[in-house]
Structures are given as structure tokens and as C-alpha cells.
Amino acid sequence: MSMQTMQRTAVRTWLSAVRLPLSAAEAVTGKQGAQWPPALAFSGFEAGVKRGLGALLGDPELIEEGLLERGKVDQLARAAELEEAAARRRAEGEARYEERSEAVEEASQQALEQQRAREAKLAQDQAQRQEAAEAKARKKQEAAQAAEEARQKIVAAQERQARSIRLQEESQALAQERDAVEAKQEVIEVDRALEATKAVRKQKG
């Protein structure tokens, strides 16, 4: 075994030992996965150590391994950011939809109260003018129908607008989730490249 191989093995062994507390924390908390912030931070530290010591020891394998792991960390961080942005956008969309739904309900209630006020006035006019009772009854019915149709149109228009905005927010959130999935796929490809590189070097060693 060459001196360089021994040094490389020592670096990897030391990094594995340094990571033991984090591995224990993962086992206790169940927070396993490369995207867990502490694990992601350690991966970035590990990549930096390999690149730095690789340059110091003149070990191109350590340097390349550090570069690949740095790329993996960057992709994982990007995927996490995209997922967080997608979740935040979806939450904002839901909140806006709820606000608009409340506005629709309020407008519907106002329209109903206005309708009732008009009906009350028509009833008062009918009581005051008995001689025009039949005509006023017709007018009351027509006004009530028109008011209801107008109210229904207002409610339908506002509900359509609220659904449209919600669909737009959902579409944007889905687009960001797709970006996150693509970023994760890039991480998988980097992992495969790293494993393939290790396998080739292991065969050479």
C-alpha cells in the first residue's frame, strides 16, 4: 500500500470518526437523509476537508472526491430550497384562497341583507297603498328575483376568480416541485458517478 493510499485512508477514517456523533443523533431523532441540515452541513465540511487535504497531500483522488461531494451538497441544498419555496407558495395560495372565500361569503351576505331590506320596503309600500296591492306584489316578486340573480352572479364571479388564483398558485408550486425532483435526480447521478469512481479506483488498488 502506497503512502498516498495510507494517507487517503486515514483521512476517510478520521472523517468517519468525526461523523459518529451526527450518526448517533440521526439514530436517536430519526432525522436521517442527506437533506437534513446538520447532515448537509457535515457533507459540505467533509467535501472541503477532502479537497483541502487532497491539495496539501498532492492526492488527486481526494480532490476529485471532494469536488464530487461538493457538487452533491450544492444540488441537495438547491433541492431543499426549491421544496421549501414550493411549500411556501402552496401555503400562500391556500391562504389567499381562504381570504377570497371569506370575501365571497361576506359579499353574499351583504347582497342577501340588501335584498331583505328591499323586500321590507316593498312590504311597507304595499301596506300604505292597498289600492295597488296586486301591482306592488308583482313588483316585489320581480325585484326579489332580480336581486337573487344579481347576488348569484356576484357570488359565482368571485368564486371563479378565487378558484383561478388558487389554480395559478398550485401550478407554480407544482413547477417548483418538479424543479426540486430534477435537482434530486442530479444528486442521484452525482452519487452514481462518485460510486463508479470509487469502484474503478478500488479495482485499480
Q: Look at 63 and 43; give whichever has higher pLDDT.
A: 63
| Average pLDDT over every residue of 137-150 | 87
Q: What is the per-residue pLDDT for 30?
A: 65
Mean of pLDDT values over 13-18: 85
pLDDT at 83 over 90: no
Which residues, 6 or more positions from 178, have their beta carbon under 8 angstroms from its beta carbon?
none
Domain ranges across the chain? 3-204
Q: What confidence score (pLDDT) does residue 201 get?
A: 80
Going 110 to 112 to 114 to 116, the CA torsion angle's sign is negative
Residue 55 has pLDDT above 80, yes or no: yes
Flag the least confident range among 30-34, 57-61, 129-133: 30-34
0.75 cut: is pTM over it?
A: no
> What is the predicted pLDDT for the residue at 33?
59
- Which residue, among 77, 66, 72, 74, has the nearest Cα to 15 in the 3D structure? 66
Cα separation, 87 vs 173, whole angstroms: 7
Question: Which residues are CB-contacts of 173 (< 8 A; sequence separation ≥ 6)?
Answer: 86, 87, 89, 90, 93
pLDDT above 90 covers a percentage of the chain that reads: 12
Task: With a cut of 80, say whether residue 37 has pLDDT above it.
Answer: no
